[in-house]
Amino acid sequence: MHCPLCELELAGAPPFDATRVLIACERCGRYIIEQLAILSLNRCHSGVRDALYLLSGLARQATENGQPEIEITRELVGDERTFHSKIAALGSLPASVESRADALLRYIGREPGRPGVKVQFHAARDYPIAFCKDKDECSFYLGHLRDTALITTLPVQTTQNEAAVYSVCVTPAGWKRLETLKTPNIESKQAFVAMSFAKGFDDVFAKGIAPVEGMTGFTMLRMDGRQFNGKICDQIILEIRRSRFLIAEVSGQNRGVYYEAGFAMGLGIPVIWCCTKSKVEKCHFDTRQFNHILWVDHADLKQQLTNRILATIVKQREDER
């Protein structure tokens, strides 16, 4: 059997259950795929097939990070519109040259775990690390890291005649770059507000959250008030990445709020959890361990939120300068 995503020959593909298969691919990592999805890939729209490398990247990303396997359903790969609207929910998709190069640098730097050690990088095997379509694109990103003096590279002659194998070493500038990637956007003046867009929550934002701007210096961004072109899911991911911290107001028990908070936490961006005191028992059990701001009215929310931002976010920025 071959990997349904990259077509690399597999040693085996054991069933996960009656309808799904667990794939363990040397290139794509581990992922779960519905058997009906495998059949759909044989006749899927070219727009989906041309973008399967993104699923390879997400599967490898989850594998490398020790996260649960992503699951590929028939619905996901059934048509191009569904594919592009749902894929962002499976993980973080680096889109720019810099973000893909950073993903590659993180992987290379994690291999030795310390400066001065050279490692072998197999572009033909590991190109999903940088969400590339093939080894040639991956070699481009390696060249970009080399040209910006973040790594040194030398081609390796192998007995197996493997293509695009490099001896790679992270430079002092590369290690400095890795350190900056570990910290959130210290200089950002934006706070992303994840909350329900229902009409009943308009006053929560207008009277309890927005007024915090004047007392903390951070702009409170609620996406329904932002003008933009393109897809809202892409813009949400972009704005979270740009933000210094995220406010998760979970009184409405909106699933999107939990997703956005989890995404921010995965990036190392601080999350301030808020919930009206009367509804805290409805919060998801996985998040109850976090220190929620429990508020009773809009004035109480404004005051507690201001105090929390000044005591944690602002103080941290001053300490790190």
**pLDDT tens digits, residue range 192-212?**
999 998 888 999 999 999 999
- Burial status of residue 226 (CB atoms within 10 A of its CB: 0-12, 13-18, 19 or more): exposed
CA distance 182 to 201: 34
pLDDT given for residue 175 in this prediction = 92
**All domains of the chain in start order, with CATH:** 20-90 (no CATH), 97-178 (1.10.10), 190-320 (3.40.50.450)
pLDDT given for residue 130 in this prediction = 94
Strand order in the sheet with 20-25: 20-25, 29-34, 70-72
Confidence of residue 180 (pLDDT cuts 50, 70, 90): confident
pLDDT given for residue 152 in this prediction = 94
pLDDT given for residue 284 in this prediction = 79
Residue, of 88 and 55, whose pLDDT is higher: 55
Mean residue pLDDT across the chain: 86
Residue with tokens 């910006």: 148
Name which of 79-93, 98-112, 145-159, 278-292 the model is least confident about.
79-93
Residue, of 111 and 24, whose pLDDT is higher: 24
Residue, of 219 and 66, whose pLDDT is higher: 219
